[in-house]
C-alpha cells in the first residue's frame, strides 16, 4: 500500500539545556518524590518547551499524520499520531491539564517534525513503524522483539518444499505463522509431512536423487524427485497443505474423509488406508497440549497485566484451530501509562513487521481498537477483527492468557529483585559509586592466532541484553599469532574510540539508563590482560572506567577464579558465593559468544578455502577425507578414531583435523 506522503521538517532554536534535571530524568517510575515537591508548570524549561511547541504549531498541517518531539541534541523524545496534527500539537502548549510525564516531555522539546498522511489509519501504521525504529524515550516501547519462526511452502520449484523459516521473506513462497517456538514449528512440519507427503530436502539434493530416500520409505515424502508421484497429484498435495495452513483445516479434513469413504466403497482398501493415515496425522497437528479452541480457527490473543510499575503482555497464537504457542513480552512504559494505552501501543508495534490474523482478541478495550482494525485490514488486504470477548470460549482464551501474564510478570519481578541485589553486591565488592547499570564483558577466541575474534556482551539491570552484543574481527596484521594482549588492546581501542565519536560521555554524576557507556568492564584474563586494558583506556583518556580482570582457576577449575583490580591485591571469592556464580555466568556467556563468533568465521573461511587450511591437509588428503565421509559437515562431526581410519590420514594428522573443528575453551 502506498499513499503520497508530505514530509515537512522544521528545525527550531536549541534553547533547552539537555543536561537539565527535567530533560534527562531517567524514568518516571524513579521520580515520585521529585514530582510531589516540584510544580513542573513553574519550571523554566517547561515554559521554553511550550514556546517551542507553539512556534511549530503555527505551521503544522491540519491533516492526519504523525508528529515527532525532538530535544536539543536531535534525539526524538516522542512520536504521536493525530487526526488533525495542528490541533493535537497546539494542545501541548496549553498551560494546565497535562500530567507530569507529558510536562517533562514538553520541557525537553526544542523542535518538532511533522509527516502528513492520506488517512488516519496510515498515520497509525507510520507511528508504530517510527516508534520501533527510533525508540523514543517517552513512548511505550516493545522490547525483546525477536523474530518468530514460520512454516514456508516454496513457490519457485515445480515440486515445492515445506520448510522452517525465520528472517526476511526474500524467497517466493507462502509463509504461515507465527509460531512461538522452533519446537512448535518442527512438530507441525513433521505432522504435515505425514499428512501431505511434501518434500523437505534442498533443491540440490532433490535434483541428484536416482532413487527415493529414507523419508519416502517411512511414508513422510511422496518422492517427486524420482517421479514416484505424478506432477498433478503432487500439486494437489501442495494445494491441500496450503489450504490447511490457511485456516481451511476442516474443509481439508472433510475432503480427505470423503476420499477415504469413496476408496473404501470401491474396496480399494490400500488407498483408503493412506487417507486414514493422513487424517490421523492432521488430527495429531490439532491435538497438541494446551488450549485448542473449537470455535476459533485463526486468532492472536493479547492479555496485559500491570504490577509494581511493570507491564507484561502475554501473546497466544492460534492457527488451524490449534495452539501454536505463546510468548511473554515486557514493554517499557512509565507508571503514568494506563493499561489501555500500553496495550494499544504494543499491538500496533507488534504487527508492524508481521501479518495479522483474521481475529485479534484483547483482555481490554482501548480507544483506537476500530482504527487499528481498519489499518491492519488495509495492510493485510483482508478483514481483520479486533474484539474484547465477554463470554464463551473466546473469553476463556483471554482469561487463560491473562493468568499466564500474571505468572510471567511475577517471575520477572522476582528475577529483577534478585538481579538488583547482585548488582548492589557487585558494586560493593569492586568499590563502585553505585550499582552498575551496564556491564560490558570482553573475551577473545582463536586457534593459534587464526580467525581471531573479539566479543563483547552486555549485562544490565534486567539480565543479558543480547541486542547489544558486538563481535570484532581482529584486523591487525602485525600481531604475533596468539597475542591475546594485542587482541584485547585492539578490541577495546576500536570499541571506545567509536563510542567517544558517536556518543560523547556525560559527566559521571549524571545517571542515564539509556547511556551506551559501561559502569563496569570485565575482562576474561589475568594481570596481563588488565594491564593491556588499562593502557588502552588511558590512551583514550578514559582511565576512570572501572576495570576488572577474571583469571580462571588452576586447570580452569570453576570456583577458583582470581580477580584482578587496579591498585588492589588479587583476591578470590568463596566457592559458593552467589556473587561468584553471577560473575561466572557473565564470563561464560562472553566466552560462548566469542567461541560462536569464531566458529562462524572459521566455517566461512573453510567453505572458501577448503580443508587445505588445516595444517598437514593438502589436496590428496582432502580428497581422501571427502571420499570417506562424503561432506564437510560429516568430517566436522567425525570422532577422532573415525578420522584416523581414513586412508592416508595418520594419527597425528587426525588429531590436527579433530582439534581444528573442536577447539578447547
CA distances, 121 to each of 60, 142, 384 (Å): 19, 20, 13
User: Residue range 215-232: average pLDDT?
Assistant: 87
Residue 324 and residue 280 share a domain = no
Q: Are 211 and 225 in contact (CB under 8 A)?
A: no
Query: Mean per-residue pLDDT for 427-449?
Result: 85
DSSP, res 190: H
Q: What is the per-residue pLDDT for 356?
A: 87
**523 and 630 share a domain?**
no
C-alpha span between 213 and 223 (Å, rounded):
8
425 falls within a domain: no
Residue 141 lies in a domain: no
Phi, psi dihedral angles at 305 (to 5 degrees): -130, 135
Among 171-175, 283-287, 367-371, whose mean pLDDT is lowest? Answer: 283-287
Within this chain, do residues 554 and 646 fall inside the same structural domain, yes or no? no
Greatest mean pLDDT among 191-195, 304-308, 573-577: 304-308
Tell me which residue has cell 498515520. 123
Half-sphere exposure of 93 (CA within 13 A, CB side): 17
Rounded percentage of the chain residues whose pLDDT exceeds 90: 12
Binned at pLDDT 50, 70 and 90, residue 97 comes out as low
143 domain-assigned:
no
Shared domain for 447 and 573, answered yes or no, is yes
Nearest one of 631, 627, 660, 659 to 646, comparing CA atoms: 627
Cα dihedral across residues 165, 167, 168, 170: positive or negative: negative
Predicted pLDDT at 146? 63
What single DSSP character describes residue 284? Answer: H
List, for residues 116-142, the tens digit of each pLDDT value: 888 888 888 888 888 888 888 888 887
Last residue of a domain, one of 134, 167, 185: 134
Distance CA 656, CA 665 (A): 16
- Angstrom distance (rounded) from CA 261 to CA 272: 7
For residue 371, the domain's CATH number is 3.30.420.10
**Position 110 in a domain:** yes
Instruction: Determine the pLDDT at residue 281.
Output: 64
What pLDDT, on the 0 to 100 scale, is given for residue 548? 93
The residue behind cell 517427486 is 224
Structurally, the chain folds into a number of domains equal to: 5
Closest CA to 596 of 498, 465, 485, 455: 455
Give the integer Cα–Cα distance in Å for 514 and 460: 11
Residue 332, in any domain of the structure: yes
CB under 8 Å to 436, separation ≥6 — which residues? 423, 426, 427, 518, 519, 520
User: Which is nearest to 360 in space by CA: 390, 352, 368, 369?
Assistant: 369
pLDDT of residue 39: 43
| Domain CATH number, residue 639 | 1.10.150.20
pLDDT at 7 over 50: no
Q: Is residue 140 part of a domain?
A: no
| Collapsed DSSP state (helix, strand, coil) of residue 483 | coil
In this structure, the number of other CB atoms found within 10 A of the CB of residue 546 comes to 18
More confident site: 169 or 233? 233
Residue 169 pLDDT class (50, 70, 90 cuts): confident
Residues facing 521 on adjacent strands = 440, 547
Is residue 416 in a domain? no
Per-residue confidence (pLDDT) for residue 396, from 0 to 100: 87
Pair 265, 365 in one domain: no
Structural contact between residues 398 and 301, judged by C-beta atoms closer than 8 angstroms:
yes
Q: Which of 576, 600, 624 marks a domain boundary? A: 600
* 586 and 557 both lie in a single domain: yes
Q: Is the pLDDT of residue 2 over 50?
A: no
d(CA 490, CA 444): 11
pLDDT tens readout for residues 540-556: 999 889 999 998 866 55
- pLDDT of residue 346 exceeding 60, the answer is yes
Give me the mean pLDDT over the 304-322 stretch. 84
CA atoms lying within 13 Å on the CB side of residue 523: 25
End-to-end CA distance of the chain: 51
pLDDT for 508 equals 59
- Give the sheet arrangement for strand 299-307, strand by strand: 322-329, 310-319, 299-307, 359-362, 385-387
Q: Tell me: the pLDDT tens digits for 379-436?
A: 888 899 999 999 888 898 899 889 888 888 887 777 777 888 889 999 999 989 889 9
What's the pTM?
Answer: 0.57
**Tell me, what's the pLDDT at 456?**
93
Summarised one tens digit per residue, pLDDT across range 581-601 is 888 888 888 888 888 877 777
Range of the domain at 585: 438-600
119: DSSP letter? S
**How many Å apart are CA 88 and CA 379, to the nearest integer?**
25
Is 103 within the bounds of a domain? yes
Please tell me whether residues 315 and 338 are part of one structural domain. yes
Q: What pLDDT was estimated at residue 41?
A: 45
What is the Cα–Cα distance from 522 to 548, expressed in whole angstroms?
A: 5
- Tens digit of each residue's pLDDT (9 = 90 or more) over 39-54: 444 456 788 888 888 8
CA angle at residue 396 from 391 to 402, to 5 degrees?
115
Q: CB 13: neighbour CB atoms within 10 A? A: 12
Longest dimension (CA), the chain: 91
Shared domain for 461 and 583, answered yes or no, is: yes
479 in the same domain as 591: yes
pLDDT, residue 577, reads 82
Other beta carbons less than 10 A from residue 375's beta carbon:
26
Phi-psi map region of 168: left, alpha, beta (phi>0 left; psi -120 to 50 alpha): beta
User: Does residue 178 have a cis bond before it (omega within 30 degrees)?
Assistant: yes
Query: What's the rounded mean pLDDT across residues 219-228?
Result: 88
Q: Report in angstroms the alpha-carbon separations of 303 from 5, 251, 407, 553.
A: 34, 31, 12, 48
Q: Of the spans 185-194, 303-312, 446-455, 592-601, which averages the highest pLDDT?
A: 303-312
Across 248-344, the runs of DSSP E, i.e. the strands, are 299-307, 310-319, 322-329
In a shared domain, residues 58 and 91 = yes
Question: Which residues pair with residue 550 across a beta bridge?
Answer: 524, 563
What's the CA gap between 508 and 428, in Å, rounded?
Answer: 18
Q: Among 145, 193, 150, which residue's Cα sits nearest to residue 170?
A: 150
Residue of 435 and 284 predicted with greater confidence = 435
Same domain for 587 and 470, yes or no, is yes
pLDDT of residue 507: 65
Q: b/e per residue, 305-337, with b = 16+ CB within 10 A?
A: bbeeebbbbbbbbbbbbbbbbbbbbbbbbbbeb
More confident residue, 40 or 319: 319
Q: What is the predicted pLDDT for the residue at 564?
A: 92
For position 610, what pLDDT does the model report? 56
Q: Are 379 and 270 found together in one domain?
A: no
- Closest to 112 (Cα-Cα) out of 153, 63, 59: 59
Amino acid at each position: 500500500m502506498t499513499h503520497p506522503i508530505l514530509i515537512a521538517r522544521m528545525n527550531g532554536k536549541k534553547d533547552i539545556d539537555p543536561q537539565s534535571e527535567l530533560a534527562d530524568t531517567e524514568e518516571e517510575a524513579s521520580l515520585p518524590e521529585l514530582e510531589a515537591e516540584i510544580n513542573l508548570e513553574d519550571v523554566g524549561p517547561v515554559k521554553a518547551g511550550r514556546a517551542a511547541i507553539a512556534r511549530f504549531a503555527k505551521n503544522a498541517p491540519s491533516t492526519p499524520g504523525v508528529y515527532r518531539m525532538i530535544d536539543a541534541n536531535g534525539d526524538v523524545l516522542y512520536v504521536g499520531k493525530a487526526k488533525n496534527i495542528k490541533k493535537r500539537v497546539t494542545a501541548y502548549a496549553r498551560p494546565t491539564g497535562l500530567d507530569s510525564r507529558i510536562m517533562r516531555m514538553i520541557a525537553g522539546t526544542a523542535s518538532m517534525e511533522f509527516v502528513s498522511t492520506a488517512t488516519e489509519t496510515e498515520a497509525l501504521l507510520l507511528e508504530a513503524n517510527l516508534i520501533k525504529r527510533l525508540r523514543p524515550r517517552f513512548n511505550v516501547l516493545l522490547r525483546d522483539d525477536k523474530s518468530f519462526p514460520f512454516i514456508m511452502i516454496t513457490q519457485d520449484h515445480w515440486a515445492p518444499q515445506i520448510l522452517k523459516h525465520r528472517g526476511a521473506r526474500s524467497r517466493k513462497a507462502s509463509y504461515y505463522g507465527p509460531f512461538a517456538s522452533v519446537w512448535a514449528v518442527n512438530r507441525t512440519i513433521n505432522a504435515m509431512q505425514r499428512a501431505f507427503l511434501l518434500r523437505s530436502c534442498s533443491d540440490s539434493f532433490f535434483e541428484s536423487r536416482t532413487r527415493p530416500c529414507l523419508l519416502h520409505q517411512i511414508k513422510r515424502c511422496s518422492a517427486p524427485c524420482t517421479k514416484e508421484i505424478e506432477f498433478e497429484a503432487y500439486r494437489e498435495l501442495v494445494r491441500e497443505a496450503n489450504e490447511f495452513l490457511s485456516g481451511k483445516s476442516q474443509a481439508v479434513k472433510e475432503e480427505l474423509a470423503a476420499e477415504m469413504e469413496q476408496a473404501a466403497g470401491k474396496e480399494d482398501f490400500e488407498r483408503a488406508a493412506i487417507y486414514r493415515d493422513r487424517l490421523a496425522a492432521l488430527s495429531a497437528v490439532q491435538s497438541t497440549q494446551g488450549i485448542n479452541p473449537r470455535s476459533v480457527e485463526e486468532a492472536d490473543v493479547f492479555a496485559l497485566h500491570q504490577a509494581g510499575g511493570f507491564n507484561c503482555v502475554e501473546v497466544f497464537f492460534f492457527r488451524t484451530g490449534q495452539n501454536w504457542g505463546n510468548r511473554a513480552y515486557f514493554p517499557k512504559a512509565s507508571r503514568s501509562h494506563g493499561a489501555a494505552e500500553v496495550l494499544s501501543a504494543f499491538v500496533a508495534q507488534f504487527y508492524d513487521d508481521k501479518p495479522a490474523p483474521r481475529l485479534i482478541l484483547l483482555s481490554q478495550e482501548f480507544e483506537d481498537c476500530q482504527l487499528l482494525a481498519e489499518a491492519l485490514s488495509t495492510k493485510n488486504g483482508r478483514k481483520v477483527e479486533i474484539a474484547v470477548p465477554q463470554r464463551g470460549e473466546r473469553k476463556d482464551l483471554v482469561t487463560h492468557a491473562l493468568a499466564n501474564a500474571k505468572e510471567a510478570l511475577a517471575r520477572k519481578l522476582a528475577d529483577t529483585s534478585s538481579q538488583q541485589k547482585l548488582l548492589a553486591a557487585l558494586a560493593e565488592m569492586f568499590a563502585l559509586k553505585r550499582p552498575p547499570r551496564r556491564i560490558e564483558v570482553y573475551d577473545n577466541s582463536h586457534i593459534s592466532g587464526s580467525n581471531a575474534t573479539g566479543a563483547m556482551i552486555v549485562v544490565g539491570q534486567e539480565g543479558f541484553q543480547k541486542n547489544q552484543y558486538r563481535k570484532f574481527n581482529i584486523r591487525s596484521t602485525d600481531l604475533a599469532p596468539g597475542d591475546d594482549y594485542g587482541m584485547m588492546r585492539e578490541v577495546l581501542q576500536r570499541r571506545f574510540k567509536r563510542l567517544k565519536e558517536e556518543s560523547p560521555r556525560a559527566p559521571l554524576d549524571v545517571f542515564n539508563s539509556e547511556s551506551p557507556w559501561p559502569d563496569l568492564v570485565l575482562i576474561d584474563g589475568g594481570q596481563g590482560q588488565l594491564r593491556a586494558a588499562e593502557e588502552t583506556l588511558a590512551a583514550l583518556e578514559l582511565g576512570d572506567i572501572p576495570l576488572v580482570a577474571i583469571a580462571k582457576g588452576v586447570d580452569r577449575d570453576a570456583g577458583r577464579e582470581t580477580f584482578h583490580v587496579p591498585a588492589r591485591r588479587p583476591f578470590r571469592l568463596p566457592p559458593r558465593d552467589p556473587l561468584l556464580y553471577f560473575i561466572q555466568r557473565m564470563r561464560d556467556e562472553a566466552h560462548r559468544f566469542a567461541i560462536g563468533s569464531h566458529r562462524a568465521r572459521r566455517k566461512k573461511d573453510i567453505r572458501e578455502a577448503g580443508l587445505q587450511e588445516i595444517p598437514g591437509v593438502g589436496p590428496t588428503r582432502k580428497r581422501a577425507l571427502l571420499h570417506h565421509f562424503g561432506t564437510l559437515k560429516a568430517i566436522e562431526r567425525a570422532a577422532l578414531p573415525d578420522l584416523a581410519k581414513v586412508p592416508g590420514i595418520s594419527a597425528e594428522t587426525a588429531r590436527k583435523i579433530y582439534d581444528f573443528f573442536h577447539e578447547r575453551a
